[in-house]
């Protein structure tokens, strides 16, 4: 059985410009002025959960959760079909048409029935974000 997203939202997703010189070669983090390009076509489909991870105790899986304002669950197959591979430094631009401007702070795979069906994208709002 393939699990599905129960409450999908439209996610405007910005890919960080990863041309040479914008990513630190040692730390693999963005440096200097940042520019994002929105994923073309229809918005991505994902399920949003707003929860401050710094206030949450570790889950059963004892993973280290980043300090964040929430996360979006994407179906891996949906991201692959759109040619999107989320990485730290990308940005969530809109959720259901509302501007949010939240930076991606961590990306984790999620499994259901021992299969990697999900991608969890944790986000932290920028100062001027609408969260």
DSSP 17-74: ---TTSB-TTT--B-SS--EEEPSSSPEEEEEEE--GGGSPP-TT---PPS-SEEEEE
Domains delineated in the chain:
9-125 (2.40.10)
Go through the chain and tell me how many residues it has: 131
Sign of CA dihedral 93, 99, 105, 110: negative
- What pLDDT score was predicted for residue 29? 63
In which band, very low, low, confident or very high, does the pLDDT at 50 lie, cut at 50, 70 and 90? Answer: confident
pLDDT, mean over the chain: 81
pLDDT at 119 over 60: yes
Q: Contact 91/16 with Cβ under 8 angstroms? A: yes
pLDDT at 62 over 60: no
Q: Contact 88/18 with Cβ under 8 angstroms? A: no
- What pLDDT score was predicted for residue 35? 75
Token couple for 74: 């994407």
Q: To the nearest whole percent, how much of the chain has pLDDT over 90? A: 38
pLDDT at 11 over 70: yes
pLDDT tens sequence across 78-114 = 999 999 999 988 999 999 999 988 999 999 988 877 8
Q: Is the pLDDT higher at 37 or at 34?
A: 37
Q: Is the pLDDT higher at 27 or at 76?
A: 76
Q: Is the pLDDT higher at 31 or at 57?
A: 31
């Amino acid at each position: 059985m393939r699990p599905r997203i129960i409450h999908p939202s439209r996610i405007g997703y910005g890919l960080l410009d990863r041309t040479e010189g914008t990513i630190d070669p040692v730390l693999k983090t963005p440096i200097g002025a940042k520019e994002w390009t929105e994923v073309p076509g229809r918005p991505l489909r994902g399920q949003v959960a707003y929860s401050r991870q710094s206030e949450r105790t570790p889950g059963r899986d004892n993973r280290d959760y980043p300090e964040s304002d929430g996360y979006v669950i994407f179906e891996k197959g949906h991201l692959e079909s759109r040619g999107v591979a989320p990485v730290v430094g990308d940005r969530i631009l809109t959720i259901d048409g509302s501007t949010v401007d939240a930076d991606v702070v961590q990306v984790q795979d999620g499994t259901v029935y021992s299969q990697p069906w999900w991608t969890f994208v944790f986000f932290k709002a920028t100062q001027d974000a609408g969260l």
